[in-house]
């Protein structure tokens, strides 16, 4: 009986020694950059084990290496704290070896980056920051140009500023301007594709379909009255100012 207890105690110690702080090289979300980890496994099943101690320990280490790699390869090495939490929580789950009877175990780990990997992360972040600045400047330039070309007056101004601009081509070119600006106006930035912006476009097209000043004055008068009824006097005053502007712009002698 005593020899049996001693044999079991020796088996537990042997397994513990084989599974304490064994090192693992783990992949990260960025190829070429990896984590270094030390894993300590705890076997929950009491001996006697269904296989030799060395076989049990080797199977546990293999399982934990594979399990840790599956999780770590999705982790960003630039966010080491999150990687530690994710990997630690995953390895803390209870697992078992497919033996009869099954051997159950759990594990904990410490995760870090070697100096070369830290340097690689720093270089990667620096490159990403440079690229982000380049992309942002390019996008700003593109959006500014697209916004400018959506304005017929701005597009005409660009054409007139050309060297040797031929003013005799202006009437035909004006029709092309309308086509070009309409195309650019359709492709607005994401933040300008809300319902409010679409409503403004619909209203703009609606008002533009009435070229007569008398019709426009009537429409703005109705718009001002609607805003006033909705208890928006500030907006109603702005709409009324537009009415007055159209009244002033009407040609002399018009009824």
| Mean pLDDT to the nearest integer, 208-216 | 80
Each residue's pLDDT tens digit, 37-59: 999 999 999 888 888 999 999 99
Given a cut of 60, whether residue 251 has pLDDT beyond it is no
Each residue's pLDDT tens digit, 58-109: 999 999 999 999 999 999 999 999 999 999 999 999 999 988 889 999 999 9
What does pTM read for this prediction? Answer: 0.59
Distances (CA, A) of 2 to 7, 45, 249: 9, 20, 112
The beta-strand segments (E) located in 159-243 are: none
- Tell how strand 103-112 and strand 34-43 pair up: antiparallel
Given a cut of 70, whether residue 249 has pLDDT beyond it is no
Distance CA 142, CA 51 (A): 68
What's the confidence (pLDDT) of residue 206?
81
Residue indicated by tokens 């593109």: 142
Residue indicated by tokens 């003013």: 167
Report whether 42 contacts 107 (CB < 8 A): yes
Task: Name the pLDDT band for 32 (thresholds 50, 70, 90).
Answer: very high
Chain center to CA of 169: 47
The Cβ of residue 117 has, within 10 Å, a number of other Cβ atoms equal to 19
Task: Name the pLDDT band for 6 (thresholds 50, 70, 90).
Answer: confident
Peptide bond preceding 101 in cis form (omega within 30 of 0): yes
């Amino acid at each position: 009986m005593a020899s049996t207890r001693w044999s079991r105690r020796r088996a537990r110690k042997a397994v513990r020694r084989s599974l304490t702080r064994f090192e693992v090289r783990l992949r990260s979300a960025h190829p070429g950059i990896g984590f270094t980890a030390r894993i300590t496994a705890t076997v929950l099943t009491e001996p006697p084990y269904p296989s030799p101690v060395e076989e049990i320990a080797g199977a546990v280490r293999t399982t934990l290496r594979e399990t840790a790699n599956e999780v770590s390869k999705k982790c960003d090495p630039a966010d080491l704290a999150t990687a530690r939490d994710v990997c630690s929580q995953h390895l803390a789950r209870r697992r078992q070896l497919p033996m009869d009877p099954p051997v159950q175990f759990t594990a904990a780990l410490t995760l870090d980056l070697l100096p070369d990997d830290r340097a690689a992360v720093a270089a990667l972040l620096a490159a990403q920051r440079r690229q982000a600045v380049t992309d942002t400047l390019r996008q700003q330039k593109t959006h500014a140009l697209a916004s400018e070309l959506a304005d017929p007056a701005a597009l005409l101004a660009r054409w007139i500023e050309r060297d040797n601009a031929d003013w005799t081509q202006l009437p035909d070119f004006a029709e092309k301007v309308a086509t070009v600006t309409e195309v650019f106006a359709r492709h607005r930035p994401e933040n300008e594709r809300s319902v409010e912006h679409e409503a403004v476009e619909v209203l703009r097209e609606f008002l533009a379909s009435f070229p007569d000043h008398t019709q426009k004055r009537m429409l703005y008068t109705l718009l001002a009255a609607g805003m006033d009824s909705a208890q928006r006097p500030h907006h109603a005053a702005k709409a009324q100012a537009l009415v007055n502007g159209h009244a002033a712009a009407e040609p002399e002698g018009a009824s």
